[in-house]
Amino acid sequence: MINPPPSPFVVKDGFVSAFMFMTKKENATGVFNLNKNGFWDSCWIVFFVNAVVSSLASYGIKANLEGDIESGILPRLLLITVIDICLFSILVNMIFEKIGKGKFFYRFIIPFNWIQSFQAIIMLSFAMLGLIFPPSIFVFFGICVVIWVTFSLWRIGKEEVGLSGWGATGMIFLSVVIEASLGMFSRSLSVAI
């Protein structure tokens, strides 16, 4: 059964945990709630953050929200976000079961989800600040954040799960391929309608 959305305190704790892991102050078991409840909390936050980011990125801040809801574009974006979360979780679980690391599923997916959400929030903040300040200021910071997050995601696979360096890279690549494929599918649906 799916847990209800997390409380604001759980969300705050999740982002603090992601930051603690990313700054190498703690390992995943020391900061994240690595169980079924923690898994659903991380899935909910990915859903909420991706829904906001994809809506703003696809349609701009001046989007006609009422028109998007009536035309069905916004519900499709939310459905694609759900498919992304489910597909990545299922594939990671299958891969981990195949390689004998099934017990590490929560240890991998929960920090992975929180760190990706943390990155999305930072990048969304940069985009909002780019409306006020010259956007070129945030290009350097954005590249630094992407490198920092990518290294942190790689560390989850390498240090927390015990994958090889290439295996940890493959998990990041899998996430990117799923998101990019679903993003292109979403775009093609939007253009077709």
* Entry pTM: 0.87
Across the chain, which has 193 residues, the per-10-residue mean pLDDT values are 86 93 89 92 91 68 49 72 91 95 94 94 83 79 91 93 92 91 73 56
100-108: long-range pairs with CB below 8 Å, 24+ = 101/161, 101/162, 101/163, 104/160, 104/161, 104/162, 106/34, 106/35, 106/36, 106/38, 106/39, 107/28, 107/29, 107/34, 107/156, 107/160, 107/161, 108/156, 108/157, 108/160, 108/161, 108/171
In this predicted structure, what is the pLDDT of residue 14?
Answer: 92
d(CA 86, CA 82): 6
In this predicted structure, what is the pLDDT of residue 62?
Answer: 47
pLDDT tens digits along 52-80: 876 776 555 444 555 544 456 667 777 88
Contact 115, 149 (CB under 8 A): yes
7 — phi, psi (to 5°)? -75, 160
Length of the chain: 193
In this predicted structure, what is the pLDDT of residue 72?
Answer: 62
pLDDT tens digits along 98-108: 999 999 999 99
Tokens found for residue 76: 């499709």
In this predicted structure, what is the pLDDT of residue 171?
Answer: 94
